[in-house]
């Protein structure tokens, strides 16, 4: 973990060289955005959620991304089927508990996925992550009502309890598996103003997990890459609309060495 910036560049190179297939069962709002983000970084996205194909599809994938943003009972079933099969195959799983804590459906689905599959990384905002701990209320819809610093106070204990790696995103991102704690700096203030940036970060974590077997390293380096691209896009954008286009360009054009030079981590 002593050279996370170099590891970020190395993981990006591996994605672009190997073009891993990332199986997404994700929400209607962000399907197009997250697919384009994965393509821009060098991965290959597939958006497959039919219950009669997800188990087969996940056998081809380097990672499985489960995003509960627009749930139905059938989609929960599809996520569990794919997640159990990915667990059997040893494929990494990323869970994005969008809006967990806001409704029983969302919170219950997230907790079922964690209980019935082996999730490598949970990526969410502070309120979504905190909702996975019994007795802590979640956020307002899909937005956070807690800060990353508030979540950091219980994140290590929660990661150990859930036996997974937590990636909590906000003004400063935090990744922990209960032992290691990494903060990632960067990004831009326009990022929360575009629907799908958080979900895109989750998809990128999936891509990085496909080439990096260490969930902490994969999550931290994925978020660092996304932060570097966000900073570059934000410096040129006139507003949220141009920001999203420029973000895709940055994800596509950033060279590994530029990413390495632009990463900012703090470990403890």
Is residue 92 within 8 Å of 205, Cβ to Cβ? no
* Sign for the pseudo-dihedral over CA of 109, 115, 116, 117: positive
Asked which of 105-109, 140-144, 156-160, 231-235 is least confident by mean pLDDT, the reply is 140-144
- What is the structure's pLDDT at 184? 97
pLDDT computed for residue 139 by the predictor: 44
pLDDT tens figures, 48-96 = 999 999 999 999 999 999 999 999 999 999 999 999 999 999 999 999 9
Asked if pLDDT for residue 170 goes beyond 70, the answer is yes
> Residues of the chain with pLDDT > 70: what percent?
94
Percentages (nearest 5) of helix, strand, coil residues in the chain: 50, 15, 30
- Cα 67 from Cα 30, distance rounded (Å): 10
Distance between CA atoms of residues 252 and 260, nearest Å: 15
Say what the pLDDT of residue 241 is. Answer: 95
pLDDT, position 2: 52
Least confidently predicted of 46-50, 129-133, 142-146, 198-202: 142-146
Sheet with 44-47, strands from edge to edge, namely: 44-47, 21-25, 63-67, 93-96, 121-124, 165-168, 173-176, 181-185, 264-267
pLDDT at residue 1 tops 70 = no
Percentage of residues of the chain with pLDDT beyond 90: 90
**Domains of the chain, CATH where assigned:** 4-267 (3.40.1190.20)
pLDDT surpasses 80 at 146? no
Length of the chain: 268
pLDDT at 147: 63
């Amino acid at each position: 973990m002593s050279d996370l910036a170099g590891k970020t560049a190395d993981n990006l190179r591996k994605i672009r060289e190997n073009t891993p297939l990332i199986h997404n069962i994700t929400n209607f709002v962000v399907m197009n955005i997250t697919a384009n983000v994965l393509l821009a970084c060098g991965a290959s996205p597939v958006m497959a959620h039919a219950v009669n194909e997800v188990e087969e599809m996940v056998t081809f994938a380097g990672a499985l991304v489960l995003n509960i943003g627009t749930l139905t009972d059938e989609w929960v079933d599809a996520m569990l089927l794919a997640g159990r099969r990915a667990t059997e195959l040893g494929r990494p799983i990323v869970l994005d508990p969008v809006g967990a804590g806001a409704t029983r459906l969302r919170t219950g689905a997230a907790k079922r996925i964690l209980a019935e599959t082996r999730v490598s990384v949970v990526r969410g905002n502070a309120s979504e992550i905190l909702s996975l701990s019994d007795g802590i209320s979640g956020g307002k819809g899909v937005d956070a009502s807690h800060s990353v610093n508030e979540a950091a106070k219980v994140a290590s204990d929660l990661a150990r309890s859930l036996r997974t790696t937590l990636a909590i995103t906000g003004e400063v991102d935090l990744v922990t598996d209960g032992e290691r704690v990494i903060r990632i700096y960067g990004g831009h203030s326009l990022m929360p103003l575009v629907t799908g940036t958080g979900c895109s970060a989750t998809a990128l974590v999936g891509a990085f997990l496909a080439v990096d077997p260490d969930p902490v390293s994969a999550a931290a380096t994925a978020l660092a890459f996304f932060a570097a691209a966000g900073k570059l896009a934000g410096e040129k954008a006139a507003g949220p609309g141009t920001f999203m286009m420029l973000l895709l360009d940055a994800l596509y054009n950033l060279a590994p060495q530029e990413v390495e030079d632009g990463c900012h981590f703090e470990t403890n």
